[in-house]
Structure 1
Amino acid sequence: MDPITDLTITMSHPDKSNTDKLKQACIATCESIEGANRTSIWRLQDNNQKIECLMCFDRQTHEFSSGQILSKSDFPEYFDAILENEHIVASDARNHPSTECFNADYFIPNDIYSLLDYILHQDFSPTGILCCESIGSFSQWQEQDSTSLRKISNVISMFFTPGE
């Protein structure tokens, strides 16, 4: 089975914990998006003034983490762009106008070069962000990558509320 079908089955299973659903969503995203070696799901908070990482998967180390918080006051260009456009395609994230704000505090310490993000929705309102990052090298995101990420975001949005 393909990763998106596996994800749909996991997300729709009533006995799966939210943690298991988040982990599967991150893994499926890594498997579906070539060049994404770190994926994460973030919850929008405080009237879209902050995002909190609910789950992050590092494909290289096979480790999960969570809890990081990023504030709009520190990264206004990114918050404005993701909320207005619902996605960001930044193959060169360190020089992209919507993401270069992350260089000192996030990209450089985490060795991130490329970013591909898509918004999560509930009832047509933004509730979170699905994020793909390329660590250690650039990824030239293709239209197929954006399409796959949108499909995964839709599956997550149908079955999981980031506020849960």
Structure 2
Amino acid sequence: MQNRLSELTQRLRRISSEEVDVSGEYPSFLSDIIHEGQLSLGIDRISVWLFDDINHPVKLINVANTDWPAGQVPSHFQTEDEEDPLAFYPSLKYTDFPIYFSAISSGVSIAANDAEQDESTLEFNGIYLQPNGITTMLDTVIFKNGIPLGVVCCEGRGGVREWSETEVAYAEMIADCCSRRLLVKELWQLQQKLRLLAFQDALTGLKNRRYLMDFTRREISRHLRNGSTLSAVMVDLDHFKRINDKYGHDVGDVVLRQFSECCLQILRTEDCLCRLGGEEFLAVLPATKLDDAATVAERLRAAVEALVIKHGALRLQITASFGVCEVELQQPFSQSLKLADNAVYQAKRAGRNCVVVV
């Protein structure tokens, strides 16, 4: 038995060490581990459940299951919820199974030879066990920084099963392998957030100057290849300093955010709106001729003029000056920035709240 356990352990370790794509949903990168465990333990099903909140759990969420086809969430569970991407997964509420939750939260493995009689799993009688034909369960805890993060649930049908110490140890290794994969997922998510923050203006949520330079480098190259025209619109809010001086920087921040949202509603998805700094912005318009860019700028000007900034009981209206230019594809982008900036300067001299094309 010892040799058999060593062989199974080595197989599991090799599988869990393989590089996987963690950018997708949980079933896709946990599937190989739990299917290997199902085969090795000779059981009917293995599922992975995670707490919704590691510090104050309200429910356990089933994020992977060997019953699901090809490691995918069944379509009848799926829904679109950007705020809670786990909303469509099956879940168990703490209030419905307090004894089981308490047992899992203690961090100790549950070897319920007879699931209908075991104190830790008897709450599932009539609700989960019988409808699914489950007669025996072996649940081992997934840890994160020493705190229970979730559970790997091994289930069998067809009668009582005496779980051996070696089987419990193997199931605990499955939980540890899942823990490492989940850590990789968390690190990947953190990298994506850091990458986003590196190219995002923290106040408005728009792209920043660093992103702009990378974006325009790619777009200039693409437009040179296909022979199309790239245009830019620079925007500068009129008398913004007066708003900060009169109402304070908190109100000024509200103005910048609502102005940004207003502009995004006018621009296309493929357009890139960046905050250069302060009250200065730049929109890069791919595959757009100069005349069309001027039309876009006029639409932006009218929308900003009609915008009512709301902050508590305060109501403000603002205007902006616009400079439009065609990007010189054969020149450094800094030259086009200077052209657009000069156009904005001309718009300011012409009385503000207007569009100047150069």
TM range (shorter): 0.7 to 0.9
Q: 2:49 aligned with 1:45, yes or no?
A: no
Distance 1:15 1:21, change over 3 A: closer
Is residue 2:41 matched to residue 1:19? no
The structure richer in helix per residue is 2
TM-score by length of 1: 0.85
Question: Aligned partners of 1:132, 1:62: CA distance in 2, in Å?
Answer: 18
Asked if the contact 2:51/2:59 (under 8 Å) is kept, the reply is yes
Structure 2 match to 1:28: 36
Shift of 1:151: 1.3
Match in the other structure for 2:113: 91
Residues of 1 paired with 2:29 and 2:109: CA distance? 22
- Structure 1 residue 68: deviation in Å? 1.6
Q: Which structure has the higher relative contact order (CA within 8 Å, separation 6+)? A: 1
SS of structure 1 residue aligned to 2:126: helix
Residues 38, 132 of structure 1: 8 Å contact kept: yes
Does structure 1 conserve the Cα–Cα contact (< 8 Å) formed by 2:27 and 2:71?
no
1:63 to partner: Cα distance: 8.1
Structure 2 CA distance, aligned partners of 1:157 and 1:63?
Answer: 17
Question: Which digits, 9 at most, give the CA deviation of each residue in 1:61-90, with x for residues without a partner?
Answer: 988656221011011111111111421000
Unaligned runs of 5+ in 1: none
Q: 1:126 Cα deviation (Å)?
A: 1.3
Distance (Å, rounded) in 2 between the aligned partners of 1:57 and 1:156: 14
> Structure 2 vs 1, CA of residues 31 and 114 (structure 1 numbering), >3 Å: closer, same or farther?
same
Partner in structure 2 of residue 156 of structure 1: 178
Equivalenced residues, count: 160
Q: Which amino acid aligns with 1:39?
A: I
Normalising by structure 2, we get a TM-score of 0.41
| Structure 1 residue 58 displacement after superposition | 3.4
How far does residue 147 in structure 1 lie from its aligned partner after superposition?
0.6
Which residue in 2 is equivalent to 1:55? 64
Which residue of structure 1 aligns with residue 350 of structure 2?
A: none
In the TM superposition, residue 99 of structure 1 has moved relative to its aligned partner by 0.5
Deviation per CA, 1:107-147: give whole Å up to 9, x if none.
01110000000110111121111110002332221111101
Give yes or no for contact 1:58–1:64 (8 Å, CA) kept in 2.
no
Residue type at the aligned position of 2:104: I
CA distance in 1, matches of 2:129, 2:145: 32
2:155 counterpart of 1:133: yes
d(CA) in 2 for partners of 1:106, 1:116: 15
CA RMSD of superposed structures (Å): 2.5
More strand by share: 1
Q: Distance in 2 between matches of 1:106 and 1:83?
A: 20
Q: Which has the larger radius of gyration?
A: 2
Identity of aligned residues (%): 26
- Deviation per CA, 1:27-67: give whole Å up to 9, x if none: 02102223x210000011142221010011139x9886562
Change (3 A) 1:45 1:63: closer
Query: 1:2-17 maps to which residues of 2 (within 5 A)?
Result: 2=8, 3-10=11-18, 13-15=19-21, 17=24
